[in-house]
Amino acid sequence: MADPTAAPTAGGPPQRPAALPSLTGLRWLAAVFVFLAHASMLSGPNRPDAPLSFFADQDLAKGLAHFFEPGFVMVSFFFVLSGFVLTWSTNPKDRAPAIWRRRVLKVYPNHIVVFAVAMWLFASSEPARAWLPNLLLLHTWSNKPEVISSVNLPAWSLCVEVFAYALLPLLLVLVRRIEESRLWLWAGAAAAGVVGVPAVTQAFVSGGVQVPMYHLSMNQLWFSYGFPPARLFEFLLGMVLARIVAAGLWPRSIGMPAAALLVAGGYWLSFALPYPYKFYTGTIVPFAVLVCAAAARDLRGEGGWLASRPMVYLGNVSFAFYITQGVVMFYGRPKVWGAHTYGVLPALGLLAVLFLANLLAGWLLYRFVEMPIMRRFSRGRKRTAPAAPRGTEAAAVTGAA
């Protein structure tokens, strides 16, 4: 199989990467899981006195909150997925400015629009030392809670993406130079790096107030979960996995059913792991398997329902769907319903209303901000290569707050 992540032969035309629509469909499923994790929180970040959960039955509300507590592992999934898709879809002839232009246009316009809405609605009283780093997507380089949680809280994960994007041209050169015989070794090294971050955190990071929910100090929580360089291993793992699949090295015997079981098992394992290992240790290998299995199935022409047009469209909306949650859920839910909770059926109905409101906000952002800007400005004046197929363009990462 020709490797679409490698440089083309001398004088030959650049290769068009094969479409991987199932990965876009997976993005939507993961984004919905993030929504449910946020919607089941017993208290919201904007108003700690008001629950995000609609359920009045405390046993049910606490049970749902406990089940979705490890929802933060989806951040790891999106970092791996982002590294994979960007490696797969970036043309080897693209220069660094072209790569950076596309990434900036993909992330910042959506972010700036939601940032402006959040400042207008509730965050205008925050000092410039808090909101300015958020606007620039540099705020998780700080270990100060008031900076990390400023303005639009879901934007924290974009800081990691922006850092990875800044290094992407260099990382692409390095990853493409890995010999095929050593790809599995490098994938193992990247996964080991992911697992090693919690060990480094416990051994060398200290200071800051204790965060009772996580049994960590604030510095330990920041370093292991939000500090951009510490999350780069997940991105690198995705990049190496793209090379493995493109080279035809992924075993056909490991398909989607096995991957789904592994993900379920990894999620269950996350309940038993202590912090900070809980953040990604139990799921990093299952997520890697899931991404590779879905991509390999697409290459065989067996995409199935994940590759259907509705799932691909929703997957394309998923970034906007995520980035608007800070306004729709963290601000809108307490603003409209206060601290009120309800019986099971009304709560389910209101949860559906909140989901549709969030989806509408995300669709509006995608339709009238993201799509027009990407279509107008993402390509240079001179096109030297075919555009990546619809559905393979990596969206910015979503994640649980």
pLDDT in tens, the chain (401 residues): 555 555 433 333 346 678 999 999 999 999 999 999 999 999 888 888 889 999 999 999 999 999 998 888 999 999 999 999 999 998 888 899 999 999 999 999 999 999 999 999 999 999 999 999 999 999 999 999 999 999 999 999 999 999 999 999 999 999 999 999 999 999 999 999 999 999 999 999 998 888 888 889 999 999 999 999 999 999 999 999 999 999 999 999 999 999 999 999 999 999 999 999 999 999 999 999 999 999 999 999 998 999 999 999 999 999 999 999 999 999 999 999 999 999 999 999 999 999 999 999 999 999 999 999 999 887 765 544 444 444 444 443 333 33
pLDDT for res 45 = 86
Round to whole Å and give the CA distance between 109 and 104: 8
Supply angle C-alpha 361, 367, 372, rounded to 5: 140
**Contact predicate 126/153, CB 8 Å:** no
Round to whole Å and give the CA distance between 110 and 365: 7
The mean pLDDT value of the chain amounts to: 90
Phi, then psi, of 216 in degrees rounded to 5:
-135, 160
Round to whole Å and give the CA distance between 52 and 82: 29
Query: Which helix H or strand E contains 217, and what residues bound it?
Result: strand 216-217
Phi, then psi, of 316 in degrees rounded to 5:
-70, -30
- Both tokens of residue 219? 């510095």
Identify the three-state secondary structure at position 297. helix
pLDDT for res 9 = 37
Round to whole Å and give the CA distance between 379 and 33: 33
pLDDT for res 346 = 97
**CA-closest candidate to residue 283, choices 265, 260, 257:** 265
Q: Is the Cα dihedral 100, 105, 109, 111 positive or negative? A: negative
| Whole-number Cα distances in Å, 14 to 5, 10, 378, 381 | 10, 10, 18, 18
pTM of the model: 0.91
Residue 87 carries which side chain, given as an amino acid letter?
A: T
* Helix-, strand-, coil-residue percentages of the chain, each rounded to 5: 70, 0, 30
